[in-house]
Structure 1
Amino acid sequence: MSVIDRIELYLVRTPLPAPHRPSWIPGTVREHVSMCVVRFITDDGIEGWSGFPASGRERAGLGDPLAALFLGLDVDDQEALQERILIMAAGGSFNWWIEPAFWDIRAKAAGVPLYRLLGGDTSRIPLYASGGEIKDTGARREEAERRFSEGFGTMKIRVHDFDESVDIEHISDIALHMQGRMRISVDVNQAFRLTTNGDAPLWSLDRAKRFVDAAADVGLAWVEEPLYGDWHNAMAELTSYSRVPVAGSELHLMGYAELERMISMRCYNIYQPDAMWVGGVGHVMKVAGLCRERGVRFTPHCWSNGFGFIVNAHVFAASGFAGEELFEYPIAEPGWVPEARDMIFTQPFVHRDGWFDLPEAPGLGFEIDQDVLSRYGRCYFKASRREQHWMPEALSYWV
């Protein structure tokens, strides 16, 4: 039996080459990839890593509960792991993102990449290009032409205007411009509202119906998150009504239990849970199995950071859907590019002609660049089964 012997927490802020304006957080300009990173070390010396977006010091107090709940835990006790993450949630802090670090350890101990440990045999997965910013029609045409020239056959755009006619004009323009060459999908970011820095529209069911009608008329591949995340009945009504596939489910924090209910209700045609938010690798693999059983589609969301990308890529490769669906490849030049997103790793995760080859190294398949971690990160908490230390001076890095 291998148990967690040590824990380390880091705050990391690596620079972007240009500002990034994520469509789902109106008014926000990102100049860094900001993360809370965890390192678990077992009593036999195996490391497991994971990292989650951090807008500031909101996880500064995470060390004490991690130490109390996970030091001494058997790394193979998945039920206990999930239960303890839920104990943290009962205290007001959802942290499914730490669960993949345990899978990193398990796969390393087995000497195989995670997707193989999960039962997958597909190491090469097809991608769609996923843009993350609002653009005018001219800039979006240029973006689509670049992605097409790089080998992508499908691109996801974003629309997010208070005037619904503007959104419909944008999907129509790009779909017609790329007609016969590239399929277009769209994410309208309605499932949750991040309005700290700017307001955002909240769509009604009627507006969503008008939009999916327009999307079907121009042949979009799917429409993503057209309604607020808790409106399950309205989602099911919209999906039943729509002539274009409706997708979503990336941030349903209760994981499998909630998604099982949503799948039974036929809330979506395509389910996109992200293992960093929605129950970890364990829950999302169960969701994939249920999607297969119920005859609905599955492909994970992965717009967060390099940890989120590679964790969900392993899940997708093992899900059984890699021969039928496309996996998300986030790119929003010039700011959000894989080389910058993945600076914490010794090698970025980049596509080749619209495909991604999963790493064959054991575990999640990356190595942390210790020079980058030292330059752009600060360890603010360390604990072992014998002692623990807070480094509050490290938190001044985030002032």
Structure 2
Amino acid sequence: MQVFDRVELYHVSAPLPAPFAPSWIPGTIRHKTNFCLVHFVTDEGVEGWSAFPAAGRERAGLGDLLAGLFLGQDVEDIDRLAERIHIMAVGGNFNWWIEPAFWDIKAKIAGLPLYKLLGGTHDRLKLYASAGELRAPEARREEAEARLADGFDTMKVRVHDFDEAVDIAQISDVATYMQGRMKIAVDCNQAFRLTQNGDAPLWSLDRAKRFADAAADVGLAWVEEPLFGEWHEEMAELTAYSRVPIAGGELHFAGYHELARMARMRCYSIFQPDAMWAGGVKQCLEVAKLCRAEGLKFTPHCWSTGFGFIVNAHVHAASGFADEMLYEYPLAPPGWVPEGRDAIFTEPLHHDRGWFNMPSTPGLGVEIDRDKLARYGRCYFSASRREVHWMPEAFAEIG
């Protein structure tokens, strides 16, 4: 039995090639990709990695929790390790993003890519292009043409205006323009409100119904998260009403049990939990299994870091839905592109004409470029079963 012997935490801040304005955080312009990186090492030297968005110092105190809860534990006992993530949540720390590092190690010990360890057989995933910014109609048409030329046959756009007529005009224009050549979906980003830098619209059920009618009229592939995430009854009513599939479920921190309740209520017709937020790899696969039993669809969300993309790719490849559902590929040039998002990987996670080729190496299948990690990252916590080092001076460099 191998046990966790060491853990390290890094804050990473790598430049993007151009400014990026995420539609779901009004008033925000990103110039860098910022995240917290965790590195576990077993007593036999097997390494596991994962990462989660972090603007700055908000995870400064996480190290002591990780050291106390995980060092010395059996690295392959995922259920026990997940229980300890629950212990962190009781104290107000929701950290499902750590669980994929355990799977990284477990799959490396088995000598298999994670999706194969989980029973998956799909070596390639069919993708949809997922835009991340608001665009004027003409610019949106140009973006759709570019993604079509890249090999994608489906693109998800964003809307986030206070005036519902503007949002309806956006989807109607691009869907009509691309009709017969590309399918269009839309993400409304209403399940959560990130208003720290600017106000955001909050849709009512009536507005969501009107938008769903407009989406159905122009043949959209799906409408994503058109209502606030805790409005389960309203979601179920909207999904029953809508002539276009309603999708969502990415950030439900409670994991399987909340998502299972939502599935049985028919809150969505397509469930999109993200393993980094919504319960980790194991619980997301349990959601996929329930979706199959309930006659619903499943495909993960993955807008976060390069780790978010690859972890959820393994989930999708093992979910049983890879033959029938597209997997998300975040792409918003010139700012949000693989070279920026995956800055500390030895190789960015590129698509292949609208497909993603799953890695063949054991574990998650990504390698850390140590030189780039040294350039862009600061280790602020390191612990072994013998000693602990908290390095507050590293945070002095973090804005």
Structures share a fold, TM > 0.5?
Answer: yes
User: What is the 5 A alignment of 1:385-396?
Assistant: 385-396=385-396
- Please state how far the C-alpha of 1:166 moved relative to its aligned partner: 0.2
Q: What CA distance in whole angstroms lies between the structure 2 residues aligned with 1:163 and 1:121? A: 45
Q: What CA distance in whole angstroms lies between the structure 2 residues aligned with 1:106 and 1:277? A: 20
Kindly provide the CA deviation profile for residues 309-362 of structure 1, in whole angstroms up to 9, marking residues without a partner as x. 000001100111110000000000110001111111000100011000011010
- Please state how far the C-alpha of 1:199 moved relative to its aligned partner: 0.4
Instruction: Indicate whether 1:27 and 2:35 are aligned.
Output: no
The residue that corresponds to 2:208 in the other structure is 208
User: What is the 5 A alignment of 1:225-236?
Assistant: 225-236=225-236
The residue that corresponds to 2:262 in the other structure is 262
Task: Give the aligned residue type for 2:2.
Answer: S
Q: What CA distance in whole angstroms lies between the structure 2 residues aligned with 1:170 and 1:70? A: 48
- Please state how far the C-alpha of 1:235 moved relative to its aligned partner: 0.2
- Please state how far the C-alpha of 1:73 moved relative to its aligned partner: 1.0
- Please state how far the C-alpha of 1:298 moved relative to its aligned partner: 0.2
- TM score, norm. by length of structure 1: 0.99
Q: What CA distance in whole angstroms lies between the structure 1 residues aligned with 2:51 and 2:170? A: 34
Instruction: Indicate whether 1:347 and 2:324 are aligned.
Output: no
User: What is the 5 A alignment of 1:151-162?
Assistant: 151-162=151-162
Q: What CA distance in whole angstroms lies between the structure 2 residues aligned with 1:151 and 1:345? A: 24
The residue that corresponds to 2:150 in the other structure is 150
Task: Give the aligned residue type for 1:260.
Answer: A
The residue that corresponds to 1:66 in the other structure is 66
Kindly provide the CA deviation profile for residues 151-195 of structure 1, in whole angstroms up to 9, marking residues without a partner as x. 100000000000000000000000000000000000000000000
Q: What CA distance in whole angstroms lies between the structure 2 residues aligned with 1:273 and 1:129? A: 18
Q: Return 5+ residue gaps in structure 1 as ranges.
A: none
The residue that corresponds to 1:48 in the other structure is 48
Q: What CA distance in whole angstroms lies between the structure 2 residues aligned with 1:107 and 1:291? A: 25
Q: What CA distance in whole angstroms lies between the structure 1 residues aligned with 2:5 and 2:293? A: 39
Kindly provide the CA deviation profile for residues 196-225 of structure 1, in whole angstroms up to 9, marking residues without a partner as x. 000000000000000000000000000000
- Please state how far the C-alpha of 1:149 moved relative to its aligned partner: 0.6
- Please state how far the C-alpha of 1:77 moved relative to its aligned partner: 1.3
- Please state how far the C-alpha of 1:79 moved relative to its aligned partner: 1.8
The residue that corresponds to 2:123 in the other structure is 123
Q: After the TM superposition, list the runs of 4 or more consecutive aligned residues in structure 1 that deviate by more than 4 angstroms.
A: none
Once the two structures are overlaid, the 10-residue window that deviates more, 166-175 or 80-89, is: 80-89
The residue that corresponds to 1:323 in the other structure is 323
**RMSD over aligned Cα atoms:** 0.5
Task: Give the aligned residue type for 2:262.
Answer: M
Instruction: Classify the secondary structure of the residue corresponding to 2:229.
Output: coil
- Please state how far the C-alpha of 1:385 moved relative to its aligned partner: 0.5
User: What is the 5 A alignment of 1:163-174?
Assistant: 163-174=163-174
Instruction: Indicate whether 1:102 and 2:117 are aligned.
Output: no
Q: What CA distance in whole angstroms lies between the structure 1 residues aligned with 2:365 and 2:78? A: 21
Task: Give the aligned residue type for 1:224.
Answer: E
- Please state how far the C-alpha of 1:396 moved relative to its aligned partner: 1.2
Alignment length (residue pairs): 399
- Please state how far the C-alpha of 1:48 moved relative to its aligned partner: 0.1
Instruction: Indicate whether 1:291 and 2:291 are aligned.
Output: yes
Kindly provide the CA deviation profile for residues 238-257 of structure 1, in whole angstroms up to 9, marking residues without a partner as x. 00000000000000000000
The residue that corresponds to 2:335 in the other structure is 335
The residue that corresponds to 2:221 in the other structure is 221
Q: What CA distance in whole angstroms lies between the structure 2 residues aligned with 1:70 and 1:42? A: 11
Task: Give the aligned residue type for 1:75.
Answer: V
Q: What CA distance in whole angstroms lies between the structure 2 residues aligned with 1:363 and 1:146? A: 33
The residue that corresponds to 2:275 in the other structure is 275
- TM score, norm. by length of structure 2: 0.99
The residue that corresponds to 2:82 in the other structure is 82
Instruction: Classify the secondary structure of the residue corresponding to 1:397.
Output: coil
